Structure 1
Amino acid sequence: MHPAWELGDTIPFLQAWGTCVRPAWELGEPGLANIPLTPETQRDQERRIRREIANSNERRRMQSINAGFQSLKTLIPHTDGEKLSKAAILQQTAEYIFSLEQEKTRLLQQNTQLKRFIQEFSGSSPKRRRAEDKDEGIGSPDIWEDEKAEDLRREMIELRQQLDKERSVRMMLEEQVRSLEAHMYPEKLKVIAQQVQLQQQQEQVRLLHQEKLEREQQIRTQLLPAHGPPAPTHHPTVIVPAPPPSHHVTVVTMGPSSVINTVSTSRQNLDTIVQAIQHIEGTQEKQLQEEEQRRAVIVTPARACPEPSASDTASDTEGNDSDSMDQSKEDPSGEGELP
């Protein structure tokens, strides 16, 4: 078998590692290619190839080791320009790692202690701290009261700050909502504004009408006593009812010689319609004048000096007149008889 076939597996490996080891017959040397290979020559050639492979691997290993030491040298604290051996670099690296571990442990302990202090003084509630101080017997009642007042004051300040913050946020959000609505629904806002304006106008009209009615009522109350009939010297025989409502007709009766006018149903309906129209149109002054004229027509002056013995008769006559008025209201056709 030709030696090239036996070394065919190692040649690609050497080419992969950057070596250029090739057999002599592949290098184009005619002298070596024609020399027959003996078993000893073949073994020497294999040993040489293995040695080249080992040397290449060793060089690469040393290069990686040197690179690692250089990186360690840059990490550990040292002065610039100081030459350190590999052993010194390893020793200083170990010391530096040990110091870092100690610093880490110390920082963890300090962090744990600070967290515990924060939980004891800030995390716990004031009531719990006061209870613990009371259990331990530390402090006095005055100090407790001062601490309680201070805690309440602090809580009030915090609540007020939160309330102000929420109020400002709410006002800002409401302003944003109004701006968005004004931007998105301008027509709707116009309609709402018109409705509000119309409601305000209606309210003003209602208030003006109410004030007018109150003034007319005051004028009526002032005019009625002035234009009323003179007070009689004896028992009064004139019955003056309250101001009539808009849908009733009141008949005023006089003394024993007065005549009771019966009103038909059509007349009552007509008066009711006229009074309702007058009330709607607001013609209260005209109604007062008509009321005064009606009283002047219906009411007749009483007797100037009635006999003292006629007072009882007048009272009886008033009762009979009132009964006759009720009968005339019940019988609109006028068939009722006077007493």
Structure 2
Amino acid sequence: MGKAVKITASAHYVPERIVTNNDLSQIMETSDKWIQAHTGIRTRHFAIDENTSDMCVKVAEKTLKEADLTSSELDLIIVATITPDSLTPSTAARVQQKIGANKAFSFDISAACAGFIFALSTAEKFIRNGNYKRALVIAAETNSKMMDFKDRTSAVFFGDGAGGVIIEGTENSEDEMFIAENLKTQADAEVIHSGQIPPLSRIDAENYPRLDAFYQNGHAVFDFVNAVIPRHIQNLLKDNSLVPQDLDLVIPHQANLRLIEKIAVQLQLPLKRFATNIETNGNTSSAGIPISLDEVLKQGQKKKLVLLTGFGAGLAYGSILLDISKFKYTGK
């Protein structure tokens, strides 16, 4: 029988620079009124002279302090990101080097806005089999560096940030926090894409690597989420003899406040049962869920049944059902 798995620490970080809707209206044709009406976003944070691995390191240091661990006690580091420092080495390897986690192995996961769900699920399997004891799972995005600021339909949504957790294996079955999960990909490479790299068209001394900015078909994303995600959540709950009303809290991908409101209506849940930070952080892609999770865990409220649900490019989506009532915040 495998180990029980629990979350032992959490943390998040957002850059100091706050960018308002009015700030964006100075560089593109938009307004605070339009952005708030269509997205619910008031502000977001942009990383200046700071890359994805830098934000990851801040989260790593906070979680290690909270868990009273040294970096050498980590066995695994996974970073979920679609805005890495580089294609290679992985951002996780850069984080490992920067924090001195000399006994760990590390890699990145790319599942867009569902990245934290996929990364947490992957780490949980490594820990549960008993071969590894502790994993650091971080989702971090420097979305600002991938934006086309002439594309007002996308650029107004996004912000930068990072969040993560440390998970551990334990012999005590009563410590188990992971209840169920369901991960899916509805393959479609055109609805959302970023960083596409074209192949060579000829061998030429002028060839140089180039990639494209972030793009999304907002209407197609909205339709996909409305049609698929509520049913996905309901099916996961049904498979575990639960209904939406059993949930104490839903921590969704922070895509768009209006979209979260639609999901709440379809699940017949009040919006107050949804944790949101998009109003002040914008859409931080994969980082939005762990940022919210950390905020919830630090509130000290003993929520029991919590659903994490993410969806994004790929089209990748997934949910994890947690019992967070057993989380012990040390206050460090």
User: Is the TM value for this pair above 0.5?
Assistant: no
| More helix per residue | 1
| More strand per residue | 2
User: Taking structure 1 as the reference length, what is the TM-score of the superposition?
Assistant: 0.20
Q: Between the two structures, name the one with larger relative contact order (CA 8 Å, sep ≥ 6).
A: 2
User: Taking structure 2 as the reference length, what is the TM-score of the superposition?
Assistant: 0.20
Larger gyration radius, structure 1 or structure 2: 1
